[in-house]
Structure 1
Amino acid sequence: MSHRDFADRVVVVTGASGGVGAAVAEELARRGASVVLAARRAGPLEEVARRCGDLAHAVVADVTKRDDVRRIFDEAISKFGRVDIWINNVGRGIGRPLLEITDDDVDAMIRDNMKSVLYGMQVVTPHLQERGTGAIVNVSSLLGRTPLPSRAAYAAAKAAMMSLSEAFRIELAGSHPHLRVVVVYPGRITTDFGQNALGQRMMDSGKLPAEVLAAIGGAPQTAEEVARVVCDAALNSRGDVYTQPDAFARVREYLEKQPG
């Protein structure tokens, strides 16, 4: 990709104070984008914005609140005049066996992993429709395709977000063919995501079925590696994108081995 392939594009990134979100923001800035960065943690967010340079604008916001998402959009319009790409990157994990999942766990997973994405899509889409072009990029997880023991609630929420995205893609295809809805599926990433998960009860990988291990295999990626895939997807892709080269084949093999 060109060093300046995002020049003249305005991109909103949620969950931008650390991990993949911060790496995406910095990659976008290197590639010439004007970036609007949103997260709850003011200090880390401001530091990421500083690293992104003069064309970065930070908005302290909680994207599980619809009014905050609207405020992110309003500030993007006020600062840059438009939005070309909206990247929904907020998510939260949980490590809890299915029989121990509580109502609060389910509510948290849906709120953080699905509602945050729904709000972003609902807020930005009328603007993109009016302009006739643009992209919404929703960062999911390979677990939305290949669930793991003790990750059922998280996997279910990511699968719900995937279905939401796919249905919306179909809705837009006829009326707005140049408006893209992309879902990105990272595998294992070397960030502190797991440390912020609820429960944090980790499964011993040695106890997992061989077909599950095969589906989630592949070396862990850095946030920077994932960010490059997310940015490329935001620029050109339609549909689903896997950050690991062989992930789709592994997912397909996993699904084919499930009981019929």
Structure 2
Amino acid sequence: MIAITGANGQLGQLVIHSLLQQTDAANIVALVRNPDNAGSLTALGIEVRQADYNQPQTLTAALAGVQQLLLISSSEVGQRVEQHQAVIDAASQAQVSLLVYTSILKADRNPMLLAQEHKITEQRIQQSGLPAVILRNGWYSENYTGNIAAVLNTGSVVGAAADGVFSTASRQDYAAAAAQVLLHPHSHIGQTYELAGDQGFTLAGYAAEIARQTADAVSYRNLEQAEYVALLQQFGLPQGFAAALADAEACAAEGWLADDSQTLSRLLGRPTTPLADSVRQALS
């Protein structure tokens, strides 16, 4: 039986749909904080169980009978180490045969603020002795294309990454790779995969792609890191999260979100989704 944490989230739902293309719904368990919000998963014939990172007592029962577990990293920055540890402990108690964790690109050496909790979680998984696979996901293309309406309104892509390259892939690409690992565990146990898109781009290149597809004037406006933090706060982001995002852009300028290994496409058995396709989908 395969269990997915955070199954109501965007990545979790895509992983489940990828699994359903290759296995029966009866083999999948959706782990969610609030089962009342998982009606769409129940409608697919998938068993839904409560699993709250902040309530460890829910995790033991949630993992009963589970062999393969995908731990999708929590979105609660600053609380993730304790939350992930609760899942690791429950997985150890349940004696799962495989723990798969969604980490971040180059987590063991990445100076990014957002990478630090991933690095610690990876260490905790190793210390647990559980059979594991680490999926070090790069940036999702949707991290940018999700804001394309604002770009069209202002005519600007705004960031602090200078000429840094982003080797992004679609969220669906990463979901499909996770599904492959979960369905074929013996081929992957013990591996750490650096996963990223086949072709990288700069934010100026991203702006140019939007301009090409829309025939609108769109350009990239690079800000200093502190200026970008202030702008994100104007958009309503909390100071801490705004600082973490601006830090990620500054690290991208130094190459920390670029990767040309093509490991993701090899796992998929196909090329990753090009930026142009992701832009086209967002515009549609």
What is the aligned counterpart of 1:124 among 56, 69, 94? 94
What is residue 102 of structure 2 aligned with on the other side?
Answer: 139
CA drift of 1:231 comes to: 1.4
1:103-138 CA-to-partner distances (Å, cap 9, x unmatched) read xxx4x23233x324423432322xx4xxxxx32111
What is the aligned counterpart of 2:177 among 202, 224, 229? 229
What is residue 71 of structure 1 aligned with on the other side?
Answer: 61
1:193-236 CA-to-partner distances (Å, cap 9, x unmatched) read xx9xxxxxxx93335xx6xx35xx213x2222111111112223
The within-5 A match list for 1:9-88 is 10-33=1-24, 34-50=27-43, 53-54=44-45, 56-74=46-64, 82-88=65-71
What is residue 240 of structure 1 aligned with on the other side?
Answer: 192
SS at match of 1:144: coil
Q: Is the 8 A contact 1:233 1:241 kept in 2?
A: no
Q: How far, CA to CA, are the matches of 1:185 and 1:49 in structure 2? A: 29
SS at match of 2:48: strand
Q: TM-score, normalised by structure 2?
A: 0.56
What is residue 109 of structure 1 aligned with on the other side?
Answer: 80
Q: How far, CA to CA, are the matches of 1:190 and 1:43 in structure 2? A: 30
What is residue 122 of structure 2 aligned with on the other side?
Answer: 162
CA drift of 1:86 comes to: 1.1
Q: Is the 8 A contact 2:138 2:257 kept in 1?
A: no
Q: TM-score, normalised by structure 1?
A: 0.60
CA drift of 1:163 comes to: 1.3
CA drift of 1:191 comes to: 5.5
Write the letter of the residue equivalent to 1:18.
G
SS at match of 1:160: helix
The count of corresponding residues between Structure 1 and Structure 2 is 184
Q: How far, CA to CA, are the matches of 1:187 and 1:48 in structure 2? A: 27
Q: How far, CA to CA, are the matches of 1:32 and 1:158 in structure 2? A: 30
Q: Is the 8 A contact 2:139 2:257 kept in 1?
A: no
Write the letter of the residue equivalent to 1:225.
D
Q: How far, CA to CA, are the matches of 2:90 and 2:55 in structure 1? A: 10
Q: How far, CA to CA, are the matches of 1:147 and 1:65 in structure 2? A: 31
Write the letter of the residue equivalent to 2:91.
M
Q: How far, CA to CA, are the matches of 2:55 and 2:92 in structure 1? A: 13
Write the letter of the residue equivalent to 2:161.
G
Given the superposition, is the C-alpha separation of residues 120 and 187 from structure 1 closer, same or farther in structure 2, using an over 3 Å criterion? farther
Q: How far, CA to CA, are the matches of 1:138 and 1:68 in structure 2? A: 19
What is residue 134 of structure 2 aligned with on the other side?
Answer: 183
SS at match of 1:58: strand
User: Does residue 218 in structure 1 map to residue 208 in structure 2?
Assistant: no
CA drift of 1:67 comes to: 0.6
CA drift of 1:83 comes to: 2.2
Write the letter of the residue equivalent to 2:134.
V
Q: Which has the larger radius of gyration?
A: 2
Q: Which runs of no fewer than 5 residues in structure 1 stay unpaired? A: 1-9, 75-81, 95-105, 129-133, 173-179, 196-202, 255-260
Q: Is the 8 A contact 1:38 1:58 kept in 2?
A: yes
Identity of matched residues, % = 12
1:149-188 CA-to-partner distances (Å, cap 9, x unmatched) read xxx2x321110011122334xx46xxxxxxx311111111
Q: How far, CA to CA, are the matches of 2:17 and 2:124 in structure 1? A: 28
Q: Is the 8 A contact 2:105 2:257 kept in 1?
A: no
Q: Is the 8 A contact 2:15 2:176 kept in 1?
A: yes
